[in-house]
Amino acid sequence: MRFKFLALAAGIIILSLFPIFQTNTYYIHMVERILIYSILLFGLDIVVGYTGQVSLGHAGLFGVGAYTAGILYFKLGVPFLIILPIAVIVSCLFGALLALPALKVVGPYIAMVTLAFGTIIQILINEMTFLTEGPLGIIIKKPIIFGFQTKEIHYYWIVLAISALSLVVINRILKSRLGRSFEALRDSPVACDCMGVSVYKYKVYAFIISAGFAGLAGSLYAYSEQYISPNTYVFELTVLFLLAIIMGGRKTRLGAIIGAAIVITLPQLLGDVKLFRIVATALAFVVVAGSALLISKKMSTVRKVAVPVIGTVGLMAFSYLIKNISDWRLSIFGFMILLVVYYLQDGIVGFVNNFYMRIFSSKKSARDQIDVGNFDKDDAIISAKNSSAPDQLLNLKSVLMQFGGLKALHDVDLIVKKGTIHGLIGPNGSGKSTLINVLTGIYVPTSGTVEFSGSSIVGKVSAKIALSGIARTFQNVQLFNEMTAIENIMVGLNHTYKSNLFEIALNLPRFKREELAAKQRAYGLLKFVGLEELANEEARNLTYGKQRLLEIARALALDPNLLLLDEPAAGLTAPDIKELLLIIKKIKDKGITIILIEHHMEVVMAVSDVVSVLDFGQKIAEGKPKEIQNNPKVIEAYLGAQTT
Amino acid sequence: MDIFVQLIYSGIALGMIYAVVAFGYQLTFSTSATLNFGQGEALMLGSMVGLTLSNLGINYWLIIPLVCVFGFLQGTVVEYLGVRPAIKIKSEFGWIMSTIALGIIFRNFAENIWGRSTFRFPGPFEDDPIKLFGANILPMEILVVLGAVSMMLLVEIFNRKSIYGKAVVATANDRDAAGLMGINTGLVITFSYALSSLTASFAGVLISPLTLAGSGAGGALGLKAFAVAIVGGLSSGLGIVVGGIILGVSETLTGFYVSTGYKDVPSLIILLIVLSFKPAGLFGKTTIKKV
Amino acid sequence: MIRKTNKFVLAVCVLFASIIASTSFAQTIKIGVDGPFTGGSSSMGVSMRDGVRLAAKEINAAGGVLGKKLELIERDDEAKNERGVEIAQELINKEKIVAVVGFINTGVALASHRFYQDAKIPVINNVATGTALTKGPSFPFKDAKDVFVFRTSARDEIQSPMIVNEAITVRGFKKVAILADSTNYGQLGQADLIKALAAKNITPVTTEKFNVGDTDMTAQVLKAKSAGAEAILTYAIGPELAQIANAMAKVGWKVPLIGSWTLSMANFIDSAGKNGEGAIMPQTFIQAPTTPKRKAFIEAYLKEFKPKNDRIDSPVSAAQGYDSVYLLAAAIKQANSLEGDKIRLALEDLKTPVVGVVKTYNKPFTKDDHDAITDKDPVMGIVKNARVVAAKGQK
């Protein structure tokens, strides 16, 4: 923590002294713009890096910020210090406006909606001449602060201070529950919903926060350039932003700064053929030398490095062939995007980290580790014994789930009693998982009623249902892969927080208290399933059996009344299964009701109080395990029709 | 009334242009769930190559198949350089960035080869308009509408009747299953890209006599066509025609009755509304998510 | 984290070192050239650049100015205002230019001129025509003591009355429509047109707008038609002008097209084909060897740059660009200094006439008038057989 603080302080001191040693305003202005872009990229990274969405609308949001500042300055003469917060708020509003329709869709559709949004903003800026002066643009003077007319150098310091502040705030947000939720929804949206973290809601949050930073950057940009006009905020700028974030490196602040530095200096580089030759030669040299090093250390093959080597050497040759670089600027730009997308997926920061690790074999986790301390809490699981839920915890009546002509569930009645373990079995395709999906709001039943704790859950969204006390695991494990074990559980503990964005940004006591409590409970839950040693390991690095256990621990973090276990024993070894049985019994002892779907009959029969059997979407039998084992209908369903 | 009819004609012609380009998006999206953000540039290349051939004195009708061959090759290149690696590394938006990048590169090359000016593309007909129900229409506009519709019909027939087409449909329905059935899905995806660029190049030759040819012609058109593809639904041929006409007509009507500055706004708003309430598009099928 | 930061600091240092190393102190006179060399208005930008290059080459071949060669620092502003701003800062602070010539797009010029003004670096604006660049109520430096912006193009204030005069006085129309693009160029020009019309007590029957890149102008043309316009006055650039002409042909409506000088752009003439024949516009220069200087210029230009069909893409831009360099060279010579302020003073009081392509500049600028082109200079040109020729009744 101290190291980081010192590094940040050193960086800020170096940057704040920079204009004293380099008095040429051109370079001061250049660094100023890098800082402004960095602020935007910090925000864009939330959307692109953390939640994994593409936004082609950030140029529009940047424009909203710039024009809010421009209009307030030009039309109303509002002072700088009041303009900044207003620009942030207005941009947040626009961000919300964009997010509400955009985030209902996925994939290329999001790209399209955000693109359309950006285009509309640009058209509006261009057309609403009465407000924005249209294509003429607005000329803005450097701000006057408390009667003092700032100059380039003063403004540089203001920008530096604001960007340092943004860095701190964004770091806090991303390390808090918000950041965890953003990452979680990218890794597994469905698990996220089922942990009570509404994917939609948090995507909207991410967009709004991101828009706020874009707006802040935009308003600073207006004062920095002293001129704004509509054709700045176009598609190309958005592509440039995306290039910056991918090239610099996602999910790191340093990557955003490097990305900003590159895209700002890029036009310079591509405007001067001599400079371009120097850089192309240097790049080719670095790639060739790096490849040679990798091959000599037998970490790569000639074949693997062929394309980047040929590409960069070719670029160098190209740079000496052409006379007029401005004609080929866009091709080089496009070429760089391709190179980054395919060979620098983790960005420069990620690449350098990987390179270090491979060459020096120094194990260095890219993510910040959560310090778990030495807490031990046996009561990590909240007991459900005292809950006021009715005895019939779950009550399904003639539930029908129809997909086109297929009836996946047909007239299913099911009653689950409080405090029991209810086994649910049936051949493949009998509708077990469909039932679980209906119970957790992923599917809305075509007809029928589902009552949980005495109230209907039909039509409620997954996150709401999860928060009302139904937790689940998944047949095909749905962990948040790039997050550590303890972070996975802390996503499940999201519901225990009450602190808001401002408390997070300012690191206020209530937030700190809640964070500590959550960490302790998460650690306790890990202990409960025996994973405390692996608390800081990324979920994707755990063995399959451990992943299943982690999923159960995560589900328990939700303080459920009802726990749905979807084939928890699938793929487990015999000793693992033994451990699992123990855990299931312990959960039951806490008074939590369990629905257990399983193909391992011995598991179901060993722990279940009641067993229901589904076949072709219909419930064909129900009773004590012993009865079920001897039920002819069940035997028929499993072994096929027998002639009598 | 004359003016209204005139605007409708213009809108339909415009809409059909969008529809042909949008059709290209549909082809690739169905097989690979990706699309070419440089589709507008494919169209531009088609029209510039066509113009070059035309300057060599080749007849308009003969240019069309030649340009189609070029488009086919161009699509193959895009798939090979931009999409295949992205699918391989399972990058969420790698293909978005790489097809944008390829589009930029193609445009820049065209600028350097053909210059940055716009050129007149000689069409097969005289420019004199025909009177139809009290309003003027250019013969070339009729050709655009007919050409667009027949292009789409041809591809549909190809998909339904030929064995290649069936492989395309199979891959569209379930890529993994098609792969297991012995269909070379990689090849099918390449083929769909080739076909998609072919339609774009064809569209380029078709519309250039109306819109002029130039290296900058692609961008705006690609974007509009994208809107059409999404409004109509990325899985419906009929949707694209309807979507194209809706957007085309709304554009000309807004241009006349509201203000030409705002003419792009209704189509974008329609886009946002459709996506908010029916994300799969007006005619698209909603898919069930699996857990 | 500390290691990361170190890496970053190192990277920044290397970056700056490489930038600083590349700026050298050469024994040349650095002249900035700013224009759109890519994009829709690039035909003007490139013609202007070629004219500038030609002039610089000739001057350098004759021994340069003050014993030093002219070095052109060319920058592509992509017709984007913010690129113009960036370039201005780069040219002034990094390249340390002596003066700058160029500017095609009025918006780019408006956005970037103030940086040169603040740095006391003379600007010779050789193509952009927005009146506000040198004159008028919205001229940004109207209160400045010394103005560093000069111009060798015919400002809109000159062009608009000529256009209006052609339509109203010469041809006797009463109802005219204005079609202008949505850029600064089109919108400011439109304002000047309306003003010039008002002077003749006429209001346009409709004013329509379109964006650069639009391909269908049917709606605008129909509006003008249904408003009963007898002529269309335009303020736009080549490709969109061609679309207007084509749309008029499509709706079967033929009225005269009279507009700003951009109607002489090659991409209008070529793209509109026969629909563009007869379009009329004010011109400072028509590609015709009417004077010895013009003849020499046209021959040298065609030899050097070999344009298609021996036709300069934008003859006006090329000629004005060429002249701007000669004017600048004359001023530097007279000032016998590379100081911006002295060059400005010399420009405001040029002792010897400069023989240019557009005209012979005899005291072209004064302290209060920074426009070299007066309302006497332009003539009306007309498109005839895909070339611009002098309109009938012109000298």
pLDDT tens-digit readout, C152-178: 998 888 899 999 988 988 888 889 999
Distance CA B282, CA B268 (A): 15
SS3 A593: strand
Mean of pLDDT over chain C: 85
**Which of A14, A135, A227 is closest, CB to CB, to C182?**
A135
What is the spatial distance between Cα A207 and Cα A215, in angstroms, rounded to a whole number? 12
The set of residues, in sequence order, having a beta carbon less than 8 Å from that of A616 and lying 6+ positions away, is: A410, A429, A430, A431
3-state secondary structure of C236: coil
Q: Are C234 and C260 in contact (CB under 8 A)?
A: yes
pLDDT beneath 50, residues of chain A: 362-368, 377, 643-644
The stretch B68-92 carries a mean pLDDT of: 82
Comparing C48-62, C130-144, C153-167, which segment has the lowest mean pLDDT?
C130-144
Count contacts between B and C (CB, < 8 Å). 93
The beta-carbon neighbor of A190 closest among B85, B109, B291 is B291
pLDDT for the residue numbered C375: 83
pLDDT band at C344 (very low <50, low <70, confident <90, very high): very high
> Are B89 and A342 an interchain contact pair (Cβ–Cβ within 8 Å)?
yes
**What residue has token string 């997308």?**
A341
- Which B residues, 27 through 66, put their C-beta within 8 Å of a C-beta on chain A? 29, 33-35
Burial of C201 (0-12, 13-18, 19+ CB in 10 A): exposed
Search chain B and give the residue with CA nearest C36: B116
DSSP assigned state of C209: E
pLDDT for A564: 93
Give the other-Cβ count within 10 Å of A509's Cβ. 10
Per-residue pLDDT at A640: 65
Contact A103, A51 (CB under 8 A): no
Give bridge partners of residue A562 from the DSSP assignment: A470, A593
What lies within 8 Å, CB to CB, of A404 at 6+ separation is none
d(C-alpha C43, C-alpha C31), whole Å: 21
Question: Residue B284 has what DSSP assignment?
Answer: P
Of A108, A120, A333, Cβ closest to residue B35 = A108
Q: pTM (2 decimals)?
A: 0.83
CB contact under 8 A, B108 and A113: no
First vs last C-alpha separation in chain A: 75
In DSSP notation, C110-159 reads HHHHHHHHHTT--EEE-S---GGGTSSTT-TTTT-SS--EEE-S--HHHH
| Cα–Cα distance, A513 to A349 (Å, whole number) | 33
pLDDT of residue A644: 45
- The b-or-e profile of B258-289 (16+ CB within 10 A means b, else e) is eebbbbbbbbbebbbebbeeebbbbbbeeeee
List the beta bridge partners of residue C31. C72, C99
CB of C270 less than 8 A from some CB of B: yes
Least confident stretch, C212-216, C221-225, C245-249, C308-312: C212-216
DSSP C68: B
Q: Rounded distance, CA C154 to CA C139, Å?
A: 16
> Which tens digit of pLDDT belongs to each residue from C22-38?
444 457 899 999 999 87
Q: Is residue B170 assigned to a domain?
A: yes
Q: Let me know if residue B7 belongs to a domain.
A: yes
Identify whether the C-beta of residue B16 lies closer than 8 Å to the C-beta of residue B244: yes
**Is C55 in contact with C124 (CB distance < 8 Å)?**
no
Mutation for B interface: A338, A340, A346, A477, most B CBs within 10 A: A338
From chain A, pick out residues whose CB is under 8 angstroms from the CB of C8.
11, 254, 257-258
Instruction: Give yes or no for residue B81 having a pLDDT over 90.
Output: no
Q: Which residue of A has its CA nearest to B105?
A: A331
Provide mean pLDDT across the span B113-131: 76
Q: Is A94 on the interface with B (CB under 8 A)?
A: no
Residue C3 has pLDDT above 70, yes or no: no
| The token pair that represents C364 in the structure block | 């072209």
**CB atoms A123 and B98 under 8 Å:** no
CA C184 and chain centroid, separation: 13
Who's near C135: CB < 8 A, 6+ residues apart? C155, C157, C371
Q: Is pLDDT at C320 greater than 80 in this prediction? A: yes
Alpha-carbon dihedral of residues B68, B71, B73, B74, nearest 10 degrees?
A: 170
C8 touches chain A (CB under 8 A): yes
Q: Do A4 and C2 touch (CB under 8 A)?
A: yes
CB-based contacts of C91, cutoff 8 Å, min separation 6: C32, C34, C73, C75, C97, C100
Number of domains in chain B: 1
- Asked whether residue B278 is domain-assigned, the answer is no
Least confidently predicted of A62-66, A317-321, B112-116, C292-296: B112-116
Taking the CA of residue A444 and the nearest CA in chain B, the distance in Å comes to 11
Q: What is the per-residue pLDDT for A167?
A: 92
CA distance B233 to chain C (A): 25
| Averaged pLDDT, B42-55 | 89
Alpha-helical runs (H) found in A445-565: 462-467, 485-492, 501-506, 509-528, 544-556
Contacts of A33 (CB under 8 A, 6+ apart): A221, A224, A264
Q: How many CB atoms lie within 10 A of CB B84?
A: 18
Judge: C213–B252 Cβ closer than 8 Å, yes or no. no
- What pLDDT is attached to residue B241? 86
Q: Is A464 exposed, middle or buried (0-12, 13-18, 19+ CB in 10 A)?
A: middle
Q: CA C345, C347, C353: angle at the middle one, nearest 5?
A: 135
Q: What residues make up the domain containing B71?
A: 2-220+233-238
The pLDDT of residue B1: 58
Q: Do B98 and A111 touch (CB under 8 A)?
A: no
Residue B249 falls inside a structural domain: no
Is the distance from CB of C5 to CB of A11 less than 8 angstroms? yes
**Chain B partners within 8 Å of A334 (Cβ):** 101-105, 108
- Closest chain A residue to C3 measured between Cα atoms? A7
Measured between alpha carbons, how far is C316 from C293 in angstroms, rounded to an integer?
A: 15
| pLDDT at residue B286 is higher than 70 | no
User: Kindly report the CA angle at C77 between C72 and C79, in degrees rounded to 5?
Assistant: 135
The rounded distance, in Å, linking the Cα atoms of C35 and C74 is 8
For residue B132, the distance in angstroms to the closest alpha carbon of chain A comes to: 35
A74 CB contacts (<8 Å, ≥6 apart)? Answer: A133, A138, A139, A140
Contact indicator for C257, C263 with CB cutoff of 8 Å: yes
Strand-pair partners of A402: A407
Q: How remote is the C-alpha of C213 from its chain's centroid? A: 20
Given phi > 0 = left and psi -120 to 50 = alpha, else beta, which region is A640? left
